Each structure stands twice: as structure tokens, then as C-alpha cells.
Chains A and B, each alone.
Chain A
Amino acid sequence: MQEYFLLFISAIFVNNIVLAQYLGNCPFIGTSKDTGVAVGMGSAVVFVMFMATGLTWLVQYKLLVPMGIGYLQTLAFILVIAALVQFVEMFLKKMVPPLYKSLGIFLPLITTNCAVMGVALIVQREEFGLVKSVMFALASGLGFMLALVLLAGIRERLAVRRLPVAMRGTPIGLVMAGLMSLAFFAFKGMI
């Protein structure tokens, strides 16, 4: 139990998927100008990452390994993730329209969010079991959401400040992400 708890906490804070593992940076910089958008994108990522990691784990151990075609992992995983995202989009549109309204526009972007595929690959390389994998995915998704919402809060404040023209927009966003990453470094001593 303790092992799972430690894994959960360390995936959110110590090994934060964006700030320590360099995954999912395009949406991290791209969708962090507004807190509302950041929350929407973050929750869509948590949801898809959780499901995609479980599904790709099953594909790996029930399909690829028994058939001896492990080298097709990359191709199989990206197809599973793309199909899953499409399916989730259709499902939400039909069954849960309010949720679709808030998450819908972010879903197509998630296929090419490397954090989703990255987590699916990390759990394979670490050889986690199914339960451990989905827990790790859930924690990583929450870590992504945390970093994204925090950065959006900072950038909302920065938008009304006077900055040198050259620093406005993406450069200051990146520098702020660097400072946040530095702050998250402090969690290293925690575990």
C-alpha cells in the first residue's frame, strides 16, 4: 500500500511529467494563457491518459507479446491512442453533452500530446503491473493538470504587466516554467 502511495505522490510532485520529465510541453505552453482553458485541457488529459495507459498495457501483454511482434509497439500504441480519443469524443458527444461541451475542443489535441504516449511507454519500460500502471497514469495526469493550472495562473497575472517586447508571450512562459521546475526540484528531498 505504502509503495503505491509513494508512487502516486512522486509522480505528481517529484517526477512531475512536465516539469521534470519534459513531456507534454507543447500543450503546456500552448494552452496556459487562461485558467479556464487550462482546467479543461488538464481534465481531458487526466481522463485520456488514464484510459490510454490501461488500454495500451492490455494491448502490449495480451496482443503484442503473445504474438511476438513487440517491435511494433510504437505503431500499435499511437493507433490505440488515436482510436481511443476518437471514441471518447463520440461517446461524450452522444452520452454526456455538457462534459463534451467543456472538454470537446481539447480532445483532438490530445492524440499528439506526447505526455499520453510517453506515460504509456514509461510504464512498459519500468515493467509495472496493470494496477500500478493506471495509478501511475492517473497521478501523472494530475501532475500535468497541476503544472498547467499553476502556470496559467502566473501567465494571467503577467499578461497585465509591462514586459520588454521580446519577452512577451512564449519566452516569459518558458522562463516561468523553468522557475516552477526549479521550485518542484525542492520536492526531491521529500521522498
Chain B
Amino acid sequence: MSRLWKEFSKGLWTELPPFRLVLGLCPTLAVTKTADNGLGMGLAVVFVLALSNLMISLLRKIIPAKVRIACFIVVAASLVVAVELLMQAYAYPLYQQLGIFVPLIVVNCIILGRAEAFASKNGPLLSMADGAGMGLGFTMSLTFLGGLRELLGSGAIFGVHVAWEGFQPLGLMVEAPGAFISLGVLLALMVFVQNLQRKRRGLALVEAPGHDCKSCGCCGKADNA
């Protein structure tokens, strides 16, 4: 039970994507114009990630090592097609807002990265906990980033106007440059806080995580790297 909680909760802080694991940057930047969109995208990823981890874990002994990446892609793509059809049926406005980023969940490195790094080596329950935790962490990050950009860019959160009279919205924040800059600054702030804590404990300072091959594994060459 404690192991299950550990695998679930690591995605919420210690390995929080996309801040600690720099994966899945495209949806992070693209759909976080508003908190709503960030939340919707995050939930779609939770669905795909939890189920793809579960299925890959169940199939892990049948899938031959040589073609495993192709197999992971097929599993993820089938789930993404399911999400697309579900969204078209029950959340059509959101589906239109997210545009091509719904089908692009299939090439989100988080899905393949977790399949390669976790689900192909662990049991179904643990894998599902890992997927759900990572997915929820991703949802949290996207909603937070979306809320921040929406607040600064249009003075609202979840579409509810909260800014005071005379508030000048920073239009840049809801455009592409704002996405890059706010993610960069948030990442730096997170490392800064982490380093403050480390300094107090007398540990060496760390730099922000990069896009390293170990946590991604998208190309299936992580072993050689």
C-alpha cells in the first residue's frame, strides 16, 4: 500500500512534470492560455497515461523488446482515438479549443517516457498509480500555468473576472512569448526555492533539470545514452 502511494505521489512533487521531468513541453506551452484549457488537457492526459501504463504493464511480458516502442505507440494511439471520440461526444467546445493538441497527446513524451521507464518494468497496479500520479501532476502544472497566464493576460481565472478596476492586462502573456517566458521563470523559481532549502541543509546547489534521455526514453535508445 505504501509503495502504491509512493509511486502515485512522486508525480505530484518530486518528479512533477513538466517542471522536474522536462517532458511534454508542447501542450504545456500551447494550451495554457486559460486555466480551463490547461485543466481539460491535463485530464485527457491523465486518462491516456493511466490506461496506457496499465495496458503496457499487462502486456509487458508479451511485447518483444525490439519492437516495444512501436507497440507502446499503438497502445497510446488507440487510447488517444478513444479520448478524441469521447471529447467530441461530451466536451465538443473544449475539443475545438485544444485543436490539434488532442491527437498530439500520442507523441507527448510523457506517455512513451513512462511506458519505457516504468510500465514496462513494473506490475499493473503500480504502473497505473504511476500513470495517474504523473498525469495529475501534469494537470496541476498546466492548470497553474494556465491560471497565471490568464490572470496576467486578461485579469480572469477560469473565465471569471477577478482583476480590480483599471487593471491593465499584459496581452503578451496569452501569446507565444508569454508562454515561453512564464514557463522559464517558473522553472527558475522552483530551482531557486529548492536551492534555498539545500543551502540551509548544507547541500550542493543544483541546476534546473534538462531534457535528459533517461527520463524520456522516447527513442528507445536510453540504454545506450
- B109/A26 in contact, CB under 8 A: yes
Which of B74, B107, B178 is close to A114, meaning CB atoms less than 8 Å apart?
B107
Contact flag A122-B100 (CB < 8 Å), given A26-B25, A170-B22: yes
Residues 87-120 of A at the B interface (beta carbon under 8 Å) = 105, 108-109, 111-114, 117-118
Residue A67 interfacial (CB < 8 Å)? no
Residue B77 interfacial (CB < 8 Å)? yes
- B77/A74 in contact, CB under 8 A: yes
- B218/A112 in contact, CB under 8 A: yes
CB distance from B42 to the nearest CB of A (A): 16
Residues 122-172 of A at the B interface (beta carbon under 8 Å) = 122, 125, 164-172
- A112/B25 in contact, CB under 8 A: no
Q: Which residue of A lies closest to B182 (CB)?
A: A178
A-side residues, CB < 8 A to B, are 19-26, 29-30, 71-75, 77-79, 82, 105, 108-109, 111-114, 117-118, 121-122, 125, 164-175, 177-179, 181-182, 185
Given contacts A75-B77, A114-B108, A121-B103, 4 further A-B contacts (CB under 8 A): A22-B176, A77-B103, A82-B70, A117-B103
B-side residues, CB < 8 A to A, are 22-26, 29-30, 69-70, 73-74, 77-78, 80-81, 84-85, 99-100, 103-104, 106-109, 112, 172, 175-181, 183-185, 187-189, 191-192, 195, 205-211, 216, 218-221
